[in-house]
Amino acid sequence: MASNKQEVANRLLDGLIGYLLARLSPGHLDSLIVDELDYILEKAASYSLNQWVQAEQVFATAQKYAVKMDISGAIPELVGDMVEQFYDHAIQSERIVEEVIDEAVVMALFDKVLEIPLSREGMAWLGRNPVLLALLAGGAQLGIKTLLHQGLPSPFRGQLSKRLPERWLASLEIRLQEWLLRRTEQLLSDPYLYCDENVAELRELVKVAWQDFGQRPVADVKELVSSEDIQELFVIVFEYWRELRHTDYFNVMLESGVQAFFDKYGDTSLTGLLDELGVTRELMLDDARRFLPPVMAKLQEEGLLEAWLRRHLEGYFQAEETLEMLKG
Protein backbone atom coordinates (compact mmCIF):
# COMPACT_ATOMS: atom_id res chain seq x y z
CA MET A 1 0.00 0.00 0.00
CA ALA A 2 2.79 2.37 0.93
CA SER A 3 4.52 1.76 -2.41
CA ASN A 4 1.27 2.44 -4.26
CA LYS A 5 0.85 5.73 -2.42
CA GLN A 6 4.45 6.69 -3.26
CA GLU A 7 3.84 5.90 -6.91
CA VAL A 8 0.82 8.18 -6.89
CA ALA A 9 2.84 10.87 -5.13
CA ASN A 10 5.61 10.53 -7.73
CA ARG A 11 3.08 10.92 -10.54
CA LEU A 12 1.68 14.01 -8.81
CA LEU A 13 5.21 15.39 -8.49
CA ASP A 14 5.91 14.76 -12.19
CA GLY A 15 2.61 16.38 -13.12
CA LEU A 16 3.27 19.46 -10.96
CA ILE A 17 6.78 19.87 -12.34
CA GLY A 18 5.47 19.49 -15.89
CA TYR A 19 2.82 22.14 -15.21
CA LEU A 20 5.37 24.58 -13.79
CA LEU A 21 7.80 23.99 -16.66
CA ALA A 22 5.02 24.69 -19.13
CA ARG A 23 4.12 27.91 -17.30
CA LEU A 24 7.74 28.97 -17.49
CA SER A 25 8.19 28.03 -21.14
CA PRO A 26 8.77 30.83 -23.72
CA GLY A 27 5.22 30.52 -25.05
CA HIS A 28 3.57 31.23 -21.68
CA LEU A 29 6.27 33.25 -19.91
CA ASP A 30 5.22 36.69 -21.17
CA SER A 31 1.72 36.52 -19.70
CA LEU A 32 3.21 35.21 -16.45
CA ILE A 33 5.63 38.15 -16.29
CA VAL A 34 2.82 40.67 -16.80
CA ASP A 35 0.52 39.03 -14.26
CA GLU A 36 3.17 38.67 -11.58
CA LEU A 37 4.55 42.18 -12.01
CA ASP A 38 1.08 43.72 -11.77
CA TYR A 39 0.32 41.63 -8.70
CA ILE A 40 3.56 42.69 -7.00
CA LEU A 41 3.00 46.38 -7.79
CA GLU A 42 -0.58 46.20 -6.51
CA LYS A 43 0.57 44.72 -3.20
CA ALA A 44 3.60 47.05 -2.96
CA ALA A 45 1.31 50.08 -2.91
CA SER A 46 0.05 48.94 0.51
CA TYR A 47 3.46 48.88 2.20
CA SER A 48 6.01 51.53 3.11
CA LEU A 49 9.77 51.16 2.89
CA ASN A 50 10.10 51.10 6.69
CA GLN A 51 7.80 48.08 6.88
CA TRP A 52 10.25 45.97 4.92
CA VAL A 53 13.73 47.25 5.67
CA GLN A 54 15.40 49.51 8.24
CA ALA A 55 18.07 52.17 7.81
CA GLU A 56 20.46 50.16 10.03
CA GLN A 57 20.24 47.17 7.70
CA VAL A 58 20.96 49.25 4.60
CA PHE A 59 23.85 51.03 6.33
CA ALA A 60 25.39 47.71 7.40
CA THR A 61 25.19 46.44 3.82
CA ALA A 62 26.56 49.69 2.35
CA GLN A 63 29.38 49.68 4.89
CA LYS A 64 30.25 46.07 4.04
CA TYR A 65 30.70 46.81 0.34
CA ALA A 66 32.05 50.36 0.59
CA VAL A 67 34.37 49.94 3.58
CA LYS A 68 35.05 46.33 4.56
CA MET A 69 35.14 44.56 1.20
CA ASP A 70 38.63 44.06 -0.16
CA ILE A 71 38.82 45.83 -3.51
CA SER A 72 40.50 43.65 -6.10
CA GLY A 73 43.32 44.96 -8.23
CA ALA A 74 41.33 43.69 -11.21
CA ILE A 75 39.14 46.81 -11.00
CA PRO A 76 41.86 49.29 -12.09
CA GLU A 77 42.88 46.82 -14.78
CA LEU A 78 39.31 46.57 -16.05
CA VAL A 79 38.92 50.36 -16.03
CA GLY A 80 42.21 50.63 -17.92
CA ASP A 81 40.91 48.30 -20.63
CA MET A 82 37.65 50.25 -20.84
CA VAL A 83 39.46 53.59 -21.04
CA GLU A 84 41.61 52.22 -23.85
CA GLN A 85 38.49 51.23 -25.79
CA PHE A 86 36.77 54.57 -25.15
CA TYR A 87 39.90 56.48 -26.10
CA ASP A 88 40.43 54.54 -29.33
CA HIS A 89 36.79 55.09 -30.28
CA ALA A 90 36.99 58.81 -29.45
CA ILE A 91 40.11 59.55 -31.48
CA GLN A 92 38.65 57.72 -34.48
CA SER A 93 35.39 59.67 -34.31
CA GLU A 94 34.58 62.25 -36.97
CA ARG A 95 32.37 64.23 -34.61
CA ILE A 96 33.31 67.69 -33.43
CA VAL A 97 33.47 68.62 -29.73
CA GLU A 98 30.33 70.79 -29.98
CA GLU A 99 28.26 67.74 -30.93
CA VAL A 100 29.37 65.95 -27.75
CA ILE A 101 29.33 68.80 -25.22
CA ASP A 102 26.84 71.60 -25.78
CA GLU A 103 27.96 75.20 -25.29
CA ALA A 104 25.00 75.90 -23.00
CA VAL A 105 26.20 73.21 -20.59
CA VAL A 106 29.73 74.62 -20.49
CA MET A 107 28.53 78.15 -19.84
CA ALA A 108 26.07 77.02 -17.16
CA LEU A 109 28.91 75.24 -15.35
CA PHE A 110 31.15 78.28 -15.73
CA ASP A 111 28.46 80.60 -14.37
CA LYS A 112 28.02 78.33 -11.37
CA VAL A 113 31.76 78.33 -10.71
CA LEU A 114 31.79 82.11 -10.89
CA GLU A 115 29.11 82.34 -8.24
CA ILE A 116 31.31 80.69 -5.62
CA PRO A 117 34.24 83.14 -5.43
CA LEU A 118 31.89 86.08 -6.01
CA SER A 119 30.41 85.65 -2.54
CA ARG A 120 31.75 87.91 0.18
CA GLU A 121 33.22 84.95 2.05
CA GLY A 122 34.91 83.72 -1.10
CA MET A 123 36.60 87.08 -1.77
CA ALA A 124 37.78 87.29 1.81
CA TRP A 125 39.20 83.79 1.61
CA LEU A 126 41.06 84.51 -1.62
CA GLY A 127 42.62 87.62 -0.14
CA ARG A 128 43.92 86.02 3.05
CA ASN A 129 44.67 82.40 2.16
CA PRO A 130 48.47 82.08 2.46
CA VAL A 131 48.72 78.83 0.50
CA LEU A 132 46.87 80.24 -2.50
CA LEU A 133 48.81 83.48 -2.37
CA ALA A 134 52.15 81.68 -2.22
CA LEU A 135 51.11 79.40 -5.09
CA LEU A 136 50.07 82.27 -7.34
CA ALA A 137 53.11 84.36 -6.44
CA GLY A 138 55.42 81.40 -7.04
CA GLY A 139 53.82 80.78 -10.42
CA ALA A 140 54.24 84.41 -11.40
CA GLN A 141 57.87 84.35 -10.29
CA LEU A 142 58.56 81.22 -12.33
CA GLY A 143 56.91 82.86 -15.33
CA ILE A 144 59.11 85.96 -15.04
CA LYS A 145 62.26 83.87 -14.68
CA THR A 146 61.33 81.81 -17.73
CA LEU A 147 60.56 84.95 -19.74
CA LEU A 148 63.92 86.49 -18.85
CA HIS A 149 65.72 83.27 -19.63
CA GLN A 150 64.08 82.92 -23.06
CA GLY A 151 63.89 86.62 -23.89
CA LEU A 152 67.46 87.68 -23.19
CA PRO A 153 70.18 86.83 -25.74
CA SER A 154 72.51 84.04 -24.63
CA PRO A 155 75.67 86.23 -24.50
CA PHE A 156 73.90 88.84 -22.37
CA ARG A 157 72.64 86.19 -19.95
CA GLY A 158 76.16 84.83 -19.63
CA GLN A 159 77.68 88.24 -18.93
CA LEU A 160 74.95 89.04 -16.40
CA SER A 161 75.65 85.83 -14.51
CA LYS A 162 79.37 86.53 -14.44
CA ARG A 163 79.13 90.18 -13.33
CA LEU A 164 76.47 89.83 -10.62
CA PRO A 165 77.54 88.00 -7.44
CA GLU A 166 75.56 84.88 -6.58
CA ARG A 167 74.33 86.41 -3.30
CA TRP A 168 72.96 89.42 -5.22
CA LEU A 169 70.99 87.15 -7.52
CA ALA A 170 69.64 85.21 -4.52
CA SER A 171 68.69 88.43 -2.74
CA LEU A 172 67.05 89.77 -5.88
CA GLU A 173 65.02 86.58 -6.22
CA ILE A 174 63.83 86.79 -2.59
CA ARG A 175 62.83 90.45 -3.02
CA LEU A 176 60.99 89.61 -6.22
CA GLN A 177 59.10 86.82 -4.45
CA GLU A 178 58.13 89.11 -1.55
CA TRP A 179 56.97 91.82 -3.95
CA LEU A 180 54.90 89.37 -5.98
CA LEU A 181 53.33 88.02 -2.80
CA ARG A 182 52.30 91.50 -1.66
CA ARG A 183 50.99 92.45 -5.08
CA THR A 184 49.04 89.19 -5.41
CA GLU A 185 47.45 89.75 -2.01
CA GLN A 186 46.50 93.32 -2.95
CA LEU A 187 45.07 92.19 -6.27
CA LEU A 188 42.95 89.41 -4.80
CA SER A 189 41.72 91.66 -2.02
CA ASP A 190 40.59 94.37 -4.45
CA PRO A 191 36.79 94.16 -4.88
CA TYR A 192 37.15 95.61 -8.38
CA LEU A 193 38.57 92.28 -9.53
CA TYR A 194 35.17 90.69 -8.87
CA CYS A 195 32.97 93.45 -10.24
CA ASP A 196 30.24 92.56 -12.73
CA GLU A 197 32.10 94.25 -15.58
CA ASN A 198 35.21 92.11 -15.20
CA VAL A 199 33.19 88.95 -14.71
CA ALA A 200 31.19 89.66 -17.85
CA GLU A 201 34.41 90.15 -19.84
CA LEU A 202 35.87 86.92 -18.46
CA ARG A 203 32.68 85.08 -19.33
CA GLU A 204 32.79 86.41 -22.89
CA LEU A 205 36.41 85.33 -23.27
CA VAL A 206 35.55 81.81 -22.10
CA LYS A 207 32.59 81.69 -24.46
CA VAL A 208 34.66 82.74 -27.47
CA ALA A 209 37.40 80.26 -26.54
CA TRP A 210 34.86 77.44 -26.20
CA GLN A 211 33.21 78.28 -29.53
CA ASP A 212 36.59 77.93 -31.18
CA PHE A 213 37.40 74.72 -29.31
CA GLY A 214 33.93 73.31 -30.01
CA GLN A 215 34.66 73.24 -33.74
CA ARG A 216 37.65 70.94 -33.29
CA PRO A 217 37.30 67.20 -33.96
CA VAL A 218 36.90 64.97 -30.95
CA ALA A 219 39.95 63.11 -32.22
CA ASP A 220 42.06 66.14 -31.25
CA VAL A 221 41.66 65.04 -27.62
CA LYS A 222 44.81 63.00 -28.13
CA GLU A 223 46.74 66.29 -28.28
CA LEU A 224 45.44 67.26 -24.82
CA VAL A 225 45.47 63.99 -22.93
CA SER A 226 46.57 60.43 -23.65
CA SER A 227 44.84 57.24 -22.59
CA GLU A 228 47.74 56.62 -20.20
CA ASP A 229 47.07 60.01 -18.57
CA ILE A 230 43.41 59.09 -18.02
CA GLN A 231 44.33 55.71 -16.57
CA GLU A 232 46.90 57.22 -14.22
CA LEU A 233 44.40 59.83 -13.04
CA PHE A 234 41.94 57.04 -12.27
CA VAL A 235 44.58 55.14 -10.31
CA ILE A 236 45.32 58.25 -8.25
CA VAL A 237 41.61 58.75 -7.47
CA PHE A 238 41.19 55.02 -6.84
CA GLU A 239 44.06 54.94 -4.34
CA TYR A 240 42.64 58.01 -2.60
CA TRP A 241 39.25 56.30 -2.39
CA ARG A 242 40.83 53.18 -0.87
CA GLU A 243 42.30 55.29 1.91
CA LEU A 244 39.26 57.53 2.41
CA ARG A 245 36.80 54.66 2.83
CA HIS A 246 38.58 53.48 5.99
CA THR A 247 38.31 56.82 7.77
CA ASP A 248 35.76 57.63 10.47
CA TYR A 249 34.73 60.66 8.45
CA PHE A 250 33.61 58.52 5.52
CA ASN A 251 31.65 56.19 7.80
CA VAL A 252 29.83 59.12 9.35
CA MET A 253 29.02 60.55 5.92
CA LEU A 254 27.80 57.15 4.68
CA GLU A 255 25.54 56.68 7.69
CA SER A 256 24.21 60.23 7.33
CA GLY A 257 23.40 59.62 3.67
CA VAL A 258 21.48 56.41 4.40
CA GLN A 259 19.60 58.05 7.26
CA ALA A 260 18.72 61.05 5.09
CA PHE A 261 17.27 58.70 2.48
CA PHE A 262 15.10 56.93 5.05
CA ASP A 263 14.04 60.22 6.64
CA LYS A 264 12.72 61.28 3.25
CA TYR A 265 11.33 58.01 1.91
CA GLY A 266 10.91 55.71 4.92
CA ASP A 267 7.14 56.25 5.13
CA THR A 268 6.66 56.34 1.36
CA SER A 269 4.93 53.38 -0.25
CA LEU A 270 7.12 51.06 -2.27
CA THR A 271 5.39 52.02 -5.51
CA GLY A 272 5.66 55.69 -4.56
CA LEU A 273 9.39 55.22 -4.01
CA LEU A 274 9.73 53.61 -7.43
CA ASP A 275 7.89 56.56 -8.98
CA GLU A 276 10.21 58.99 -7.18
CA LEU A 277 13.22 57.16 -8.57
CA GLY A 278 11.72 57.12 -12.07
CA VAL A 279 11.32 53.33 -12.18
CA THR A 280 8.04 52.81 -14.04
CA ARG A 281 6.04 49.65 -14.73
CA GLU A 282 7.01 49.92 -18.40
CA LEU A 283 10.74 49.98 -17.56
CA MET A 284 10.48 46.94 -15.27
CA LEU A 285 8.37 45.06 -17.78
CA ASP A 286 10.82 45.85 -20.57
CA ASP A 287 13.79 44.57 -18.55
CA ALA A 288 11.92 41.43 -17.43
CA ARG A 289 11.01 40.63 -21.03
CA ARG A 290 14.59 41.20 -22.11
CA PHE A 291 16.33 39.01 -19.54
CA LEU A 292 13.89 36.36 -18.27
CA PRO A 293 12.97 34.53 -21.51
CA PRO A 294 16.56 33.71 -22.58
CA VAL A 295 17.53 32.82 -19.00
CA MET A 296 14.52 30.52 -18.55
CA ALA A 297 15.11 28.95 -21.95
CA LYS A 298 18.72 28.21 -21.04
CA LEU A 299 17.71 26.77 -17.66
CA GLN A 300 15.19 24.47 -19.32
CA GLU A 301 17.61 23.49 -22.08
CA GLU A 302 20.26 22.46 -19.55
CA GLY A 303 17.73 20.69 -17.32
CA LEU A 304 18.62 22.97 -14.44
CA LEU A 305 15.10 24.32 -13.92
CA GLU A 306 13.56 20.86 -13.63
CA ALA A 307 16.35 19.74 -11.29
CA TRP A 308 15.79 22.79 -9.10
CA LEU A 309 12.03 22.17 -8.93
CA ARG A 310 12.53 18.49 -8.06
CA ARG A 311 15.09 19.32 -5.39
CA HIS A 312 12.62 21.60 -3.62
CA LEU A 313 9.38 19.65 -4.17
CA GLU A 314 10.25 15.97 -3.93
CA GLY A 315 10.74 16.14 -0.17
CA TYR A 316 7.08 17.11 0.22
CA PHE A 317 5.84 14.28 -1.99
CA GLN A 318 7.96 11.76 -0.08
CA ALA A 319 6.84 12.90 3.37
CA GLU A 320 4.68 10.56 5.44
CA GLU A 321 2.13 13.34 5.98
CA THR A 322 1.67 13.68 2.22
CA LEU A 323 1.38 9.95 1.68
CA GLU A 324 -1.25 9.77 4.44
CA MET A 325 -3.41 12.21 2.47
CA LEU A 326 -3.39 9.76 -0.44
CA LYS A 327 -5.15 6.96 1.50
CA GLY A 328 -8.44 7.41 -0.22
CA dihedral 173, 139, 123, 183 (to 10 degrees): 30
- Mean pLDDT lowest for which of 74-83, 246-255, 287-296? 74-83
Mean pLDDT value of segment 46-75: 91
**Euclidean distance between CA atoms 36 and 26, whole angstroms:** 16
Q: Enter the pTM of the model.
A: 0.74
Q: What is the pLDDT of residues 86-114, one digit of tens each?
A: 888 877 778 888 888 899 999 999 888 87
Torsion region of 87: left, alpha or beta (phi above 0 gives left; psi -120 to 50 gives alpha): alpha
**Euclidean distance between CA atoms 208 and 186, whole angstroms:** 29
- Largest Cα separation within the chain, whole Å, is 121
Which residues make Cβ contacts (< 8 Å) with residue 222, sequence separation at least 6? 87, 91
- Mean pLDDT lowest for which of 8-22, 28-42, 150-164, 182-196? 150-164
Report the amino acid identity of residue 137.
A
